[in-house]
Structure 1
Amino acid sequence: MTTPLDTALFGIAFLSGVLLCTLGAYCNRRWDEPGVTAFGMFTLLLGIGAVVGGAVGMAFGASGPSRGPPLWSDIAFLSWAFAMLPWLVFALEYTGTYTRLRRRTVALLSLPLVGVTGLVFVSVFNLPVDGVILQTIGSLATVHVFFLLIIGIYLVVRTTHEYGHLSLGQGIVLGTAAISPLFILNITPTLLEDVGLTAAATGYAVGFLFPAGLLVFALFGFEIFESTPAAGTVGEQAIARETDDLIFVVDDNERVIKLNPKAAEEFGLSRTEPLGKPISDILGVTLEELRGMETYERRSGVSRQQFDPEISSFTDQHDRQLGCIISLHDVTERELRKQRLEVLNRVLRHNLRNNVDVIKSNAEVLAENGHDDRAEAIIDSADGLADLGHKARSIDRFVSRRIHETERDLVAVAEEVIADRCERSDNEVEIELDAPESASLVTDWEALTAALDSSVGNAVRYADTTVEVGITEYATGYRITVSDDGPGIPDSELAALDAGSETPLQHGTGLGLWRIKWGIKKLNGTVTFTNESGTTVQMTVPDRSVS
């Protein structure tokens, strides 16, 4: 006999079904993400089973045409079994494992469910069917339904565990919502037989109310369709794993979903640390700002690199944009060579032309008038040309090749450079070296010596009375300072250095300052020029033995 409490419990199952149906319809209207349609169908089928079964339970209680399990129990099992097909489709699309399921594939997966339907009809109406045939069909259909269930749970739990921006709890909640109706509803016939209708109705109500609550929590608590793992899976498949480019995969909210090992190594990150964070936290610029950049510049301590950014969108089979793939191609060497060639071209053309004109005009005067006092001007200009050629060759040699690391004493090298410059200079100035007794350093000494030579040479040439050279140690290398009390570097030359190129209206008078800048840049160091009571050149040189 059905009591008011039993009716109320079946009513709870009925209302749970209404909630599930509403949830399915809401998902299809609210989101357009991979797996939404299948998820809506999954909740709708569960909901239909709860609504119909709850209505049957309220109307008939434990009675019905079947001598076996009550009709509402068979309806619940049938709706759950059919819900397993969209559950698997949802798992495949949501995780991005397989987003191009054909209708033929779905139809083939649904064929065994016909057997489940037949079993329920046989059970409900006691149809005369051979026991062996019935048992075979039942076993195959049950195995198939469990296959759909388990594969779907595995995909969802594994994917939410792998992706840092998702929660493992999210996968567990979804998997539990799929499997819980089977366990709970499976015991209702036993409860009906051993305990009574009230216990069975309680189990039936819980069997639908519990997964309904889990699915509501998954949708609005975990926000499963706000950032789907399909973005990471589909994007990951598009990555060329062996590339030297830095690759980031972001969803349509500009959150990092995946990055390749090269990007993780370059930014000093683990493979999971940046996941779920905005790409602007990693790159320092938004996706929109990156799109407008010709080159992206990254500074890391004393190092500076330049990259060509490429941004491409990726979509699913319905042409819905899931996110973007960001590729950063290192063009530091290319930009450096371009800058070097540009400067060498302009400086050599300008200076060689001027000096050759001086040589030519003075030589013509000498030839016509026989004045030997013109010879000094010719010699000076020729010396200038020779020095310019030497600096150009030096720059091209150390910038073009790979870094060659060796260990030497920086103080000893500085003393050699100072002695050489004093010997070659006509400007009698006092040079003071403030340095420790020794300073062991692993670096490319050709590049460093060239930069140090030009720094000391410029200071000796333009100083009034004194040049000071200082060497101090810092955390990862040494800081070299060269100061003089001369007139300072012309603003036009500093402007050309800051701009990174030379123009007809903005250029230097030689290669000395560029030799300093490029030599230190080759070593991933930094250089600054200060005009205060003379000129101060400060260079930081990393010790390449320090990791």
Structure 2
Amino acid sequence: MHHRQLFKQAVENAGHAVFITDREGAIEYVNPKFEARSGYTREEAVGRNPRIIKSGKQDEEFYDRMWQTILSGEQWNANLINQRKNGELYHVEQTISPIENDDGEITHFVAIESDVTNYRLRKQQLDVLNRVLRHNLKNGMNIILGRAELLRDSLGDDRLQDHMRPIEERADALATLSDKAGTVRSLFEEEVSAEIAINVTELVSDVVTAFSEEHPTVSIELDELDPLYARADSRLRLAVEELLDNAVAHNNKSVPEVTITTTPSKQRKSEDWVDIEIIDNGPGIPDQELETIKQGKETPLQHGTGLGLWIVYWTVSLYGGEVTFVDNSSRGTGVVLSLPRMSADSSVRGPPAENS
């Protein structure tokens, strides 16, 4: 296939709206995605100005800056609101690049627009959920806990006091859930650079030390091996802490035992990966919870019990890694976090883990 033909096919089938104008801004070409998104057919758009999709939400100064930028030969990038033929508004991320002829004169402009309407709405939803879950839930639970404590102290009857304990425990659990909502927020807010790396052996060791101080009755065996670096940042702590909490919270043995090992990957059978294996002697993760994570979605009939395993899954996915569940009958059940291995010299600090 001739390169020109191949290029045309690629643009025709592109997932983004593409239109090409002449130097004056008259449309010469639109791709099918532009037609679908704007509601204007190719026949309706060609020969006209992109003003047909103008929503009036950007002022004249916005367009002056755009023209100044592209006429000087620079690329233009912006977020703006367009309007479909039927009047609906949609948000796009727009890139406009000048096209020059062999003499270096600008003859055309090519615009590429990706629809970010859903992305913007999802971000707003996340912001609102985060506020409601963290702030309102936390404040409400603190009030309930405070009053419950006062009530318990003023109740002389032991049997009545027994009724207060489940209230306090559940309020505590909901306050913790509010903290986890903040954790989820920190996972979505910062991208991970391709170059980032962290000493996983050291990070796991730090988490285990802190955990042992908090839970002196738990038996933790940590295999301290040579330092291994993986593509991750300090948010990886969240996943390891979550799995340790999980191993102890659901453990029905008199002495919960947890073994943590960090090794080159056995799971992916490759030296290019690092495994963090956390195995405990408890009953294991409930089947329904496992199935939910494996399917990658929740339904009314099949859902996880909380945010815990999702936090582990989202954190590891952030680094291009993988979560595997192992059933090792001799030592119990466990979870393996596999992460892309990095060299020590690419190690840099990532964004701080957010617990507030």
TM-score, normalised to structure 1's length?
0.35
Residue type at the aligned position of 1:536: G
**Aligned: 1:391 with 2:189:** no
Give the direction of change, closer, same or farther, for the CA distance of 1:382–1:434 in structure 2 (3 Å limit).
same
Shift of 1:431: 0.9
What does residue 462 of structure 1 align with?
250
**1:91-113: CA deviations, max 9, x gaps?**
xxxxxxxxxxxxxxxxxxxxxxx
Residue correspondence of structure 1 range 122-201 to structure 2 within 5 A: 162=2
* AA partner of residue 264 (structure 2): E
**Equivalent residues in 2 for 1:431-470 (5 A)?**
431-446=220-235, 448-463=236-251, 464=253, 465-470=256-261
Which of 392, 400, 416 is residue 189 of structure 2 equivalent to? 400
Structure 1 residue 231, shift from structure 2 partner: 5.2
Q: CA RMSD in A?
A: 4.6
Q: CA deviation at 1:483?
A: 0.4
Q: Are the aligned partners of 1:409 and 1:440 in contact in 2 as well (CA < 8 Å)?
A: yes
Separation (CA, whole Å) in 2 of partners of 1:422 and 1:538: 20
Q: 2:333 maps to which residue?
A: 535
**Counterparts of 1:440 and 1:498 in 2: how far apart (Å)?**
27
Q: Distance in 1 between matches of 2:226 and 2:115?
A: 40
Deviations 1:21-68 (A, max 9, x none): xxxxxxxxxxxxxxxxxxxxxxxxxxxxxxxxxxxxxxxxxxxxxxxx
**SS of equivalent residue, structure 1 residue 476:** strand
The 8 Å contact of residues 481 and 537 in structure 1, kept in 2 or not, is answered as yes
Residue 468 of structure 1 aligns to a residue whose secondary structure is: strand
Q: Tell me the CA shift for residue 481 of structure 1.
A: 0.6
Is the 8 Å Cα contact of residues 221 and 260 (structure 2) preserved in structure 1?
Answer: yes
CA contact (8 A) 1:425 1:460 kept: no
How far apart, in 2, do the equivalents of 1:459 and 1:494 lie? 14
Equivalent residue number for residue 9 of structure 2: 235
Whether 1:515 aligns to 2:276 is no
Q: CA separation in 1, counterparts of 2:15 and 2:311?
A: 38
How do residues 347-496 of structure 1 correspond to structure 2 at under 5 angstroms?
366=152, 369-371=155-157, 373-374=161-162, 376-403=165-192, 406-425=196-215, 428-446=217-235, 448-463=236-251, 464=253, 465-474=256-265, 475-496=271-292
Contact 1:489 1:531 in 2 (8 A): no
Measured against aligned partners, the alpha-carbon deviations of 1:194-238 in whole angstroms (never above 9, x if no partner) come to xxxxxxxxxxxxxxxxxxxxxxxxxxxxxxxxxxxx853652564
1:303-318 equivalences under 5 Å are: none
Any idea what SS the aligned residue of 1:496 has?
helix
Task: Label 1:330 to 1:535 Cα distance change in 2 as closer, same or farther (>3 A).
Answer: farther
Provide closer, same or farther for how the CA distance between residues 370 and 363 of structure 1 changes in structure 2, counting only shifts above 3 A.
Answer: farther
Of Structure 1 and Structure 2, which has the larger fraction of its residues in helix? 1
Alpha-carbon contact 2:274-2:338 (below 8 Å) kept: yes
- State how far apart, in whole Å, the 2-side matches of 1:470 and 1:532 are: 14
Q: Which residue of 2 aligns with 1:31?
A: none
SS in 2 for 1:443: coil
Q: Once the 2 structures are TM-superposed, how far is the Cα of residue 503 of structure 1 from its aligned partner?
A: 3.2
Query: C-alpha separation between the residues in 1 aligned to 2:218 and 2:11?
Result: 66
Compared with structure 1, are the counterparts of its residues 539 and 243 closer, same or farther at alpha carbon in structure 2 (3 Å cutoff)? farther
Q: Is the 8 A contact 2:223 2:260 kept in 1?
A: yes
Instruction: Measure the CA separation in 1 of the matches of 2:264 and 2:5.
Output: 48
* 1:466–1:484 contact (8 Å) kept in structure 2: yes
Aligned equivalents of 1:417, 1:509: Cα separation in 2: 24
Could you say what secondary structure the match of 2:282 adopts? Answer: coil
Task: Supply the AA of the counterpart residue of 2:322.
Answer: T
Distance in 2 (CA, whole Å) between partners of 1:420 and 1:233 is 57
Per the TM alignment, residue 450 of structure 1 is displaced from its structure 2 partner at its CA by 0.9
In structure 2, the residue matched to 1:201 is none
Distance 1:241 1:385 in 2: 42
Give 3-state SS (helix, strand or coil) of 2:261's partner: strand
1: CA distance, partners of 2:305 / 2:16? 45
Check the 8 A contact 2:198/2:233 in 1, yes or no.
no
Q: Identical aligned pairs, as a percentage?
A: 33
Count residues in correspondence.
229
Contact 2:145–2:172 at 8 Å: present in 1 too?
A: no
- Tell me, which stretches of 5 or more residues in structure 1 are unaligned? 1-159, 164-229, 245-328
